[in-house]
Amino acid sequence: MTLITGGGTGGHLSIAKALCEAYNARGIRPFYIGSTNGQDKTWFEGYPGFKNTVFLPSKGVVNQRGLGKVLALWIIFKQLFTCRALLKRHNILQVVSVGGYAAAPATLAALTLGIPVYIHEQNAITGKLNSLLRPFAKAFFSSYEAHSPLKNYPVATRFFEAYRARDTLKTLLFLGGSQGARFINQLARAIAPILHNQGIRIIHQCGKSELEAMMDFYAKHGIDADVFAFSNVLHDKLHEADVAIARAGAGSVWELCAAGIPTLFIPFPYAAGNHQYHNAKTFTNQNLGGLLRQEEATPQAVLAWLENAHIKRINLALPACLSKGGADEIVAWLEREKPSR
């Protein structure tokens, strides 16, 4: 059996889900190990695509200090032995890590057992855990590195099906990511009334913590916005949108690309290694979107970009950046590599 491990945020989890769906298309249900922290249980608790799911109380190490870092490392060390037992019990033949702190216990356990490990890196800047484990991996998949064995990003087919021709701004999507983004929400408060007066419809993923406040805001201003915290049908929301204002997490940038949505990226400035900025640069270096650092993203600057965005040109050009079947390619490659025992 194959184990998929990792998570924490939507970028990691969207890869896990895309790979799981590709396995399911082959009649295979993989095993999954994630964390009780982050969004892993929201995505995968009871998810039928996995044969088994286990959530461990793992914690991130990078953002911890002092005793917090020591405690996080100790938790991972203890969970390594839990994962060793799970990998043996379920006859795991290969482990696919999609990164994030949730991947650490199972990936380290696999290495101690001599089980082949494969890593998928979603971001333009490699994460700390993936950097640490890369020398021990059998293969390292990245859409940003020329020597990756496969470069096509694993985006689910439903996001490609969200593509349609776009040439004018009639519906704007505020996309704060699966956890929401306070800055994006503040920006929406500043410019949504202006957009509404221009006849522009609003779709807004605001995150769970600010859902009630944002719904109250839109109601107060008489704006019939589609506001939500998390959606299992995000592809349908993307299909409706003409333009997006978004953070630049890996999953978001490639899903927006697949759907052909011209996007103004406002990267989260405190992301590890500033990776969101570099994710966005992959597209903006080709003039396939806009990019404003958070301190630059004033309401005036954002409205100016929206007014001058080359919607039709970007919409037509984005499909050339990505092809369907990225997850299928990786799974086919992994199945050829899978040891028999």
Helix (H) or strand (E) holding 306: helix 299-308
Task: Identify the CA nearest to 116 among candidates 97, 101, 138, 131.
Answer: 138
Query: What are residue 56's phi and psi, to 5 degrees?
Result: -110, 150
9 is in an annotated binding site: yes
14 is in an annotated binding site: no
- CB of 222 within 8 A of CB of 193? no
What single DSSP character describes residue 95?
E
Cα 242 to Cα 290: distance, rounded to the nearest angstrom: 14
10 is in an annotated binding site: yes
- CB of 126 within 8 A of CB of 134? yes
Using CA atoms in the order 145, 6, 284, 131, what is the torsion angle rounded to 10 degrees? -40
112 is in an annotated binding site: no
131 is in an annotated binding site: no
Rounded to a whole number of angstroms, the CA Rg of the chain reads 20
171 is in an annotated binding site: no
Can you say which residues are annotated as belonging to the binding site?
9-11, 123, 178, 276
Can you say which residues are annotated as belonging to the binding site for UDP-N-acetyl-alpha-D-glucosamine?
9-11, 123, 178, 276
